[in-house]
Amino acid sequence: MPITEPPSGPTDEPGQVIPRHVAIIMDGNNRWARRRGLPGVAGHRAGVEAVRGVLRACRKQGVEVLTLFAFSSENWGRPQPEVRALLALLSRYLRNEVRELHKDGIRLRFIGERKRFSERLRRLMQQSEQVTAANTAATMVIAVDYGGQWDIAQAAQKLAQRVQEGSLQPGDITPELIDRNISISDLPRPDLCIRTGGDARVSNFMLWHFAYSELYFTNILWPDFDEAEFAGALADYSRRERRFGLRETPGLVTGGSAHA
């Protein structure tokens, strides 16, 4: 799929269709830092600022769910100083930002494995979810130690356990049943996946969830992905036709979310 760049000029188009759920692969922090002669952690710090900007943009535009790929299961293979810096940034973000998120009515959730994190970080994650659990203005999902293949496997394990217990027959396992056991099954599926940094792939992120998501790739590095860039991605999404495998019916509006 070609790299998509935001259109020039105003992006507040009449009748623009806003996705309910946007997922973002935040790529390019290290390259952003290297181009400025800075250590990699400086790029990750700048990336946190980009998160704040995009979250503001989601609230302004009416996006209900924002999912961020913060730390993949493959990221454990990075140099240990970088891994420690990433996890320290996540801890600092939770300590500093959860109060503000709560005040703004934003619910915070995490998807992915947690057992490899420190007890302190796991406790911070749990407390952040508990404090914001009743909020309804919007939801921010942070994917940490997450992989799409892991997500499908853990859903299969749950169903296999039920088969072993005798409460489920193998023939009863359907895509709909798997869907109900996948992470954040209670939330609308991502309408739009944005990847920054120039690579045109999803890198094992939300593989089940992206079955009919629109994909938007940009060369912009994540720390430079601001509210204007986000508005450009939404404008591009709004112009697309989403038929979900169906044939278009004359006079039927096909753009926008299947969950609307």
Q: Is 27 considered catalytic here?
A: yes
Looking at residue 156, its amino acid is A
Q: Is 75 considered catalytic here?
A: yes
Residue carrying the six token digits 């619910």: 107
Closest CA to 98 of 66, 126, 122, 128: 128
Q: What is the distance between the alpha carbons of residues 27 and 196, in angstroms, rounded to a whole number? A: 5
Q: Which of 12, 29, 30, 75 is catalytic?
A: 75
Can you count the helices (H) and strands (E) in the chain?
Answer: 7, 6
Residue 204: CB partners within 8 Å, gap ≥ 6?
A: 72, 73, 74, 147, 148, 149
Looking at residue 113, its amino acid is E
Confirm if 59 and 138 have CB atoms less than 8 A apart.
yes
Closest CA to 72 of 19, 144, 164: 144
Q: Which two tokens stand for residue 9?
A: 């000029």
Closest CA to 47 of 224, 229, 231: 224
The set of catalytic residues is 27, 75
